Amino acid sequence: MSLAEHLTELRSRLLRCTIAVLVLGTVSLLFAKPIFGLLMRPVLDALPEGNRALVYTSGIEELNVLMKVGVYCGIFLTTPVILMQLWGFVSPGLYPEERRFAAPFVMFGSIAFILGAAFCYFAVLPSMFKFLLNEEETLALEQRLDMARLRADDALRFLRIGDAERAGVLAKETSEALRATGEGQAPAPELTPSAAVELKARLDGLGKLVDAASDGFDGSARGVLRQVVDKRVEAVAAYGRQDYAAASESMEAAASLLAGVAPTRTEELSGLWKLEKELAAANALHEAARWTRPMLTMHEQLSLVLLLILAFGVIFELPLVMALLGVVGVVRSSWLFKYQRHAFVVCLIAAAIITPTGDVVNLSLMAGPMLLCYELGVLLVWMVERRRARNAAETGITPVS
C-alpha cells in the first residue's frame, strides 16, 4: 500500500471508532446521573458528615457535566472497538502466524483497561481524596469529640430516668477521657477558638442538663428550677448582646442553683455541668481547627476522577502496546533493558505529575503499577522475539535485527 492508501485506511478506522463512541456515548447519556453519582462516590465518602455534596457554579454546568460523563463512558465502552481497529491497521504488516493474536490482543487489552480503571477507583481514589479533604489531626479530634458527646447524652439519659449515680460515673469517665486526649485543655497557640461558639455550646448543654434534671424533681423544687431557667434566659440575652462575660456568669449561677436543688445529686450535677463545659471548649477548638472547608464543584471533580481513571486504564495497556510494538519490530527487548533505569525515572516523574497529592502512598500507588507494567511489557517483547527467532530457525529465514 502507498502512503495515501495507508492514510485512507487510518481515516476509515478512526471514523469507525468515532461512530462507536458517539453511539455508545448517546446511550450512556440516558444513565449519566447515576453513573456520575457512582464516579463521585470516593469524593463524597471523603467529605465530612453533613457536607457530602458537590456544587455547580453556573446554570449549565450540571448539564455539561452529564454530557461529559456520557462522552467518557462512550470512550470507555468503545475500548474493544478501538483495540480491534488498531489491530486491523497494523495486521497487514504481520506474519500470518502473528495475525492470530488479534482476538487475544482485543480481549486482554479490554481486560487490562478495566483492571486499570478498577484499581484506580477502588485503591487510589479513596486514599487520595481522604488525604486531600481531611486533615488527620482534625479528623481524629472530630471522632473523639463525637464519642464524648454520645457518652454525655447517655449520662443525661441516666439522670432523666433517676439514676443520678450512674450519670455521675459516666460523666466523670467521659471528662477524664477528654482531658487525657487534650480536648478539655487549653488550645494550641496557633488556634483561636471563638468565644461565641463555646458559649453557644454551653447554652445548649445547660438546656439539656436542665431538661434531664427536671424530670426527677418533685413540685417543691419547681421554684428553684424556674430560677435556673430565668438565669439561662439572662445568659441567652447577654449572649445576644455579645456580653460573653455576663452570659458565662449567668450560666454558672444557673448551674449552681441546679446543683443545690437536691443535696444528694450535687456532685453528679456539678460533674455533668463540668463535662458540658469541657465539651463546649472542645467543640470550639474543633471549629477553630476547621477554618478551611472544602467546597467542590461538579466539573472539577469529574475532570480529576476521569483523568485518573483513564490514566490508569492506559497504564495497564502499556504491556500490550509494548508487545505490539515488539511484534511490528519498532522496539527490541535489548534496547528496553538498556534504558530500563531511564524508564524508571520517567515513570516516577510521570506519576508525580499525574498524582495531585504529594504523599508517598498515592505516589507509590501510581508509580508502582507503571513500573510493573513496564517490566511486564519488556518481558512480553522478549517473548515475542524468542518466538520470532524460533519460527525463523524452523523456516530457515534469518530475522532482521
Whether 54 is covered by a domain: the verdict is: yes
Q: Assess whether 277 and 194 both reside in one domain.
A: yes
Q: Assess whether 179 and 278 both reside in one domain.
A: yes
Least confident window among 155-169, 228-242, 302-316 = 155-169
pLDDT band at 359 (very low <50, low <70, confident <90, very high): low
pLDDT band at 398 (very low <50, low <70, confident <90, very high): low
Whether the predicted pLDDT of 337 surpasses 70: yes
Q: Assess whether 41 and 157 both reside in one domain.
A: no
Which domain, by its residues, includes 237?
Answer: 136-290
CA dist., res. 118 & res. 130, Å (int): 18
Q: Which amino acid is at 378?
A: V
Q: Domain end: 290, 314, 345, which one?
A: 290
Q: Assess whether 326 and 352 both reside in one domain.
A: yes
Whether 401 is covered by a domain: the verdict is: no
pLDDT band at 190 (very low <50, low <70, confident <90, very high): very low
CA dist., res. 255 & res. 248, Å (int): 11
Contact assessment for residue 153 and residue 275, using Cβ atoms and an 8 Å cutoff = no
User: What are 51's three cell numbers?
Assistant: 457536607
Between vectors from CA 353 to CA 347 and to CA 357, what angle results, nearest 5°? 115
Q: Assess whether 88 and 114 both reside in one domain.
A: yes
Q: Assess whether 150 and 283 both reside in one domain.
A: yes
Q: Say what the pLDDT of residue 399 is.
A: 53
Whether the predicted pLDDT of 1 surpasses 70: no
For residues 373 and 329, the model is more confident at 373
Q: Assess whether 111 and 203 both reside in one domain.
A: no
Residues 114, 118, 124, 127, Cα dihedral to 10°: 170
Domain count, the chain: 2
Q: Say what the pLDDT of residue 186 is.
A: 43
Contact assessment for residue 281 and residue 340, using Cβ atoms and an 8 Å cutoff = no
pTM of the model: 0.65
Helix ranges, 215-265 (H): 222-240, 244-261
Q: Assess whether 183 and 306 both reside in one domain.
A: no
- Region of 217 (left: φ > 0; alpha: ψ -120 to 50; beta: rest) is beta
**Measuring CA to CA, which residue among 41, 110, 31, 17 is closest to residue 66?**
31
Q: Assess whether 281 and 319 both reside in one domain.
A: no
Q: Assess whether 222 and 341 both reside in one domain.
A: no
Whether 148 is covered by a domain: the verdict is: yes
**Measuring CA to CA, which residue among 304, 16, 250 is closest to residue 132?**
304
Side-chain half-sphere of 23: how many Cα atoms within 13 Å?
8
Whether 195 is covered by a domain: the verdict is: yes
Whether the predicted pLDDT of 116 surpasses 60: yes
List, in order, residues 6 or more apart from 254 with CB less than 8 Å away. 206, 210, 227, 228, 229, 231, 232, 235
Q: Say what the pLDDT of residue 191 is.
A: 45
Q: Assess whether 321 and 247 both reside in one domain.
A: no
Most confident range (mean pLDDT) of 76-90, 116-130, 182-196 is: 116-130
If 0-12 CB within 10 Å is exposed, 13-18 middle and 19+ buried, where does residue 281 land? buried
Q: Domain end: 270, 290, 310, which one?
A: 290
Q: Assess whether 130 and 174 both reside in one domain.
A: no
List, in order, residues 6 or more apart from 167 with CB less than 8 Å away. 155, 156, 157, 158, 159, 268, 272
- Rounded alpha-carbon distances, angstroms, from residue 301 to 37, 296, 297: 12, 7, 6
Q: Domain end: 275, 290, 305, which one?
A: 290
Whether 182 is covered by a domain: the verdict is: yes
pLDDT band at 34 (very low <50, low <70, confident <90, very high): very high
